[in-house]
Amino acid sequence: MQCVRKQPKRSKSQELLHNEQSRSITSDNLKLLGMDGDPDLNFLLKGAELVKVRSGSWRKVRFYKLQEDCKTVWHESKKTLRPKHTFSIEDVECVRAGRHTEGLRKYTEEVMESRAFSILFKGHQKNLDLIANSEEDAKHWVSGLEKVISNTSKLSQQQRTEHWIFNCLRKADINCDQKMSPEEVKSFLHNINVDVSDEYFKMLFEKCDESKTGLLEGKEIKILYEILTDREEISVIYGTYAKTEGLMSAANLLDFLIKEQKEKVDLIHATQLIEKYEVDEMAKAKQLMTEDGFLMFLHQPEALIMSPAHKGVYQDMSQPLNHYFISSSHNTYLLKDQLKGPSSTEGYIRALTKGCRCVELDVWDGADGEPVIYHGYTLTSKILFKDVIQAVKDYAFKTSEYPVILSLETHCSIEQQKLIAKHMCSILGSALVTKPLGEHMPTALPSPEELKGRFLVKGKRLNKLEDYFSDQSATAEEQSVTEDEDDEAVEHSENNKKSKKLKLAKELSDLAIYCKSVKFHGFEHARTQQSFYEMSSFKEWDAVNFAEKSANEFIHHNVDKLSRVYPSGAGRTTSSNFNPVPLWNSGCQIVALNFQTPCEEMDLNQGLFSQNGQIGYILKPAFLREKESEFDPITLIRGPWLKHLEFHVMVISAQQLPKLSEKPLSIVDPLVRVEIHGVPADTSKKETRHVKDNGFNPMWNENFQFDLYVPELALVRFVVEDYDCVSSNDFVGQYTAPFASLQNGYRHVPLYNQNGDLLPSAQLFVHIMAVEAE
């Protein structure tokens, strides 16, 4: 969260005082980050000129400098309406050394490799492609920015709050006298997303102004900070269990963990928590926990709402590939809409680094003999196929080591199909699966564990996989295949015919080993004629129809075969998404979504795959893997999946919600909605009242109860919105996770923005409890 406020001009004396204070403030912030005296940070704080590159003809020298808060970078701009500009380190996705973005590769020479670097932002903000004056300067920038990003991410919630408020207070001190007038305090409150009545403000200011001078300074400002950051709800919980001289002993803490958090732990564990998280050394020496230590503990990853046991890889990864939900992207090359939006290798990099394990490549003949990727029959831009494969190779296994499926939609001539095969084989090398893993014809798909670090091609194949072991072959000139219905680009073609023949090169055909694309002709045909390595793709409305009317048949189909579901091409020109939950309920493994589009559906996708180490593979529940399963998500006949639970949720409070507008008087009026997404019987939504003019520390203390019948398929979503009585509410943040991965008790809930990126300081505080229904 940033303090968004334009600073007024200062007099010369004020500027000198400001600069002197700035050095002190910078030193304090560096110490907080553990980087005091770091040469890279000192370089960034002094600033330097960099060449900003936008095109072959647009290169401008601009001055960049890390500001005193050590989390904001200022750079000059020649735009008359925006003479100064900043960006927050918290908005940076990563920093890439060298010419490793499309822009730098295209618009700079190879000789600049050692001086070039790029700053990539979260969401849809454009990259910053930069060239330093020397190789040494470039290393300072890359190393310094990476250190700030890393060290900032390691700050505790309490440290983040202190750092943020400290710097907001600093900015609110307009005349740099280290004192705060009532006007400056009120402005500061607006900056941190709080508006109070005149009566309350007068009471607050007078309570802090112990010297009665009409100005706050020194310890009086600290009193203001303590009042603002006081967590009344934490004090109540702590007071209930702090039974040892007003503090919490290990036995008291164990009592809390067992009664409230429903954790199966012992006294040794409680003692270790005090040793690890207590901030007061005297209390720690007596094996006691203060309220500050208790709050510190509640902010630790192990104490958050997601079970730490589910954050790593905890599922069996040795089952056949079709037994897993697989995080999958549609039109991966697009950054925006699918009519005229840009195509970019960045789309693949972003999807893969978010754990996506199935990416789509729509390949067409390129004018210069090199195959290209774009959305056919549209105005979307084109990128070289070989550049995409190189990007996929470079980033496929940075987040997850489990296999990546390359979903090929090929519309090329025989010659360029051969090039496609050649590029994949030469670039991906031995990581590309080009033959079955064993020496004999397999009877089932291999497991994710067996395929670690490997690439699978999903595409059309001229013959059966069995022919690989019987030395049968075919030539491209002799055979053709019928295009499947998943060739979405043909939806945009005026000359589209339902049955369209495509000549297929043997070199490309032979790469489709475990994911041969075939047309779906009905469940009976698939049951008797379709092999385990043959998979069909379904338009969203066809798949939803099966999920609603033939769910059990669909489940049986997906027990031993892979299914891919994709959004309608003609119906979703803005790259919107459909609800994936009914398809997961029917056992569909590859539910492909537009990763480039922030939306509720992507929140659900991110939530499902947030467990199991975020590797992009989730083992389906047993009743979706069994051949004789009678499970039907619509009718819910009795079976082992029916586990009626009462799910109790108390929405208590929130902390540091982001401002949605830079206008000082624009304050959030937050409400919280709790949603259950799962089988139809479980799907439900309930929301709190809104709290007026307080996005900093609103409190609700509202209770909800939900009835869950198939908890293994349920996702829980917390949504924070800014209430608007005139128009629709504005999105503030959300968190989604599998119900089975949630921890009982008092838990902080991290919040994510619309792009699925963590809001560094914002959070909810809730109490949840699941009990068996009577």
Tell me the pLDDT tens digit for each residue of 530-561: 999 999 999 999 999 999 999 999 999 999 99
Is 259 in the same domain as 362? no
- Binding site as annotated, residues for Ca(2+): 331, 360, 362, 409, 667, 669, 722-724
Averaged over 655-672, what is the pLDDT?
A: 87
pLDDT band at 661; cut points 50, 70, 90: confident
Looking at the structure, tell me whether residues 281 and 325 fall in a common domain: no
- DSSP for 378-407, please give it: S----EEHHHHHHHHHHHTTSS--S-EEEE
What's the average model confidence in pLDDT over 29-37? 84
637 assigned to some structural domain: no
Domain identity same for 662 and 766: yes
For residue 536, tell me if it sits in a domain.
Answer: yes
Is the domain of 61 the same as that of 114?
A: yes
Same domain, 610 and 699: no
Q: Are 519 and 484 in contact (CB under 8 A)?
A: yes
- Quote the pLDDT of residue 59: 93
Closest to 620 measured CA to CA, from 566, 583, 578: 583
Q: How far is CA 429 from the centre of its chain?
A: 30
Tokens at 62, concatenated: 């601009």
Residue 219 domain-assigned (yes or no): no
- Kindly report whether the global pTM for this prediction surpasses the value 0.85: yes
| pLDDT beyond 60 at 228 | yes
Pairing of strands 590-593, 563-566: parallel
Q: List C-alpha distances in Å: 327 to 149, 620, 751.
A: 27, 13, 21
Specify whether 328 is located in the same domain as 417. yes
pLDDT at 485 over 60: no
In a domain, 6, yes or no: no
Most confident of 49-53, 124-128, 663-667: 49-53
**Residues 277-315: tens digit of each pLDDT:** 999 999 999 999 999 999 999 999 999 999 999 999 999
pLDDT in tens, 507-532: 999 999 999 999 999 999 999 999 99
**Residue 18: pLDDT band with limits 50, 70, 90:** low
CATH of the domain at 376: 3.20.20.190
Same domain, 686 and 759: yes
Range in 93-107, 189-203, 595-609 with the lowest mean pLDDT? 189-203
Same domain, 298 and 325: no
What does pLDDT average to over the chain? Answer: 90
pLDDT category at 4 given cuts 50, 70, 90 is: very low
Quote the pLDDT of residue 12.
Answer: 63
Confidence band of 160 (pLDDT split at 50, 70, 90): confident
**Is 676 in the same domain as 562?**
no
Whether 753 is in a domain gets the answer: yes
Distance in angstroms (rounded) separating the CA atoms of residues 287 and 267: 12
Alpha-carbon distance 264 to 760, whole Å?
Answer: 30
602 and 456 housed in the same domain: yes
**pLDDT score recorded for residue 7:** 47
Instruction: Please report whether residue 92 resides in a domain.
Output: yes
pLDDT in the model for residue 574: 83
* Cβ neighbours, 10 Å, residue 32: 18
pLDDT higher than 50, residue 631: yes
Last residue of some domain: 595, 624, 653? Answer: 624
Give the pLDDT of residue 6. 44
3-state SS assignment for residue 670? strand
**Within-domain flag for 14:** no
> What was the pLDDT predicted at 482?
58
The closest alpha carbon to 327, from 645, 626, 611, 712, belongs to: 611
| Bigger pLDDT: 342 vs 173 | 342
624/587 Cα distance (integer angstroms): 6
pLDDT tens per residue, range 47-93: 999 999 999 899 999 999 998 888 889 987 766 555 457 888 888 99
Residue-wise pLDDT tens digits, 395-431: 999 999 999 999 999 999 999 999 999 999 999 999 9
Residue 478: the pLDDT is 45
* Per-residue confidence (pLDDT) for residue 253, from 0 to 100: 98
Model confidence at 472: pLDDT above 70: no
The helix or strand, by DSSP H or E, that contains position 556, with its residue range, turns out to be helix 551-560
Q: Which residues are annotated as a binding site for substrate?
A: 52-79, 458, 460, 537, 564
* Both structure tokens of 115: 């001086």
Give pLDDT, residue 71: 86
78 and 116 in a single domain? The answer is yes
Binding-site residue ranges: 52-79, 331, 360, 362, 409, 458, 460, 537, 564, 667, 669, 722-724
Domain boundary pick from 303, 331, 346:
303
pLDDT at 39 over 50: yes
Question: What was the pLDDT predicted at 477?
Answer: 47
By annotation, the residues acting in catalysis are 330, 375
> Which string of DSSP letters, residue by residue, matches 521-538?
--HHHHHHH--TTEEEEE
Are residue 492 and residue 559 in the same domain, yes or no?
yes
- Residue 415, both tokens: 């010659």
Q: Is the pLDDT of residue 480 over 70?
A: no
pLDDT, position 364: 96
End-to-end CA distance of the chain: 45
What domain count does the chain have?
A: 4
State the maximum Cα–Cα separation within the chain, in Å, rounded to a whole number.
95
Confidence of residue 499 (pLDDT cuts 50, 70, 90): low
> In this structure, what CATH number is given to the domain that contains residue 84?
2.30.29.30
- Secondary structure of residue 619 in the 3-state scheme: strand
- Per the rule left: phi > 0, alpha: psi between -120 and 50, beta: everything else, 453 is left
Distance (Å, whole) CA 193 – CA 689: 18
The pLDDT-based confidence of 275 (bands split at 50, 70, 90) is very high
Last residue in a domain, options 563, 593, 624: 624
In angstroms, what is the C-alpha Rg of the chain? 29
- pLDDT tens digit sequence for 312-334: 999 999 999 999 999 999 999 99
* Residue 40 counted as domain residue: yes
| Domain of residue 294, CATH code | 1.10.238.10
Domain residue limits at 439 = 321-624
Identify the pLDDT of residue 1.
42
Q: What local confidence, expressed as pLDDT, does residue 495 receive?
A: 45
Which amino acid makes up residue 158? Q
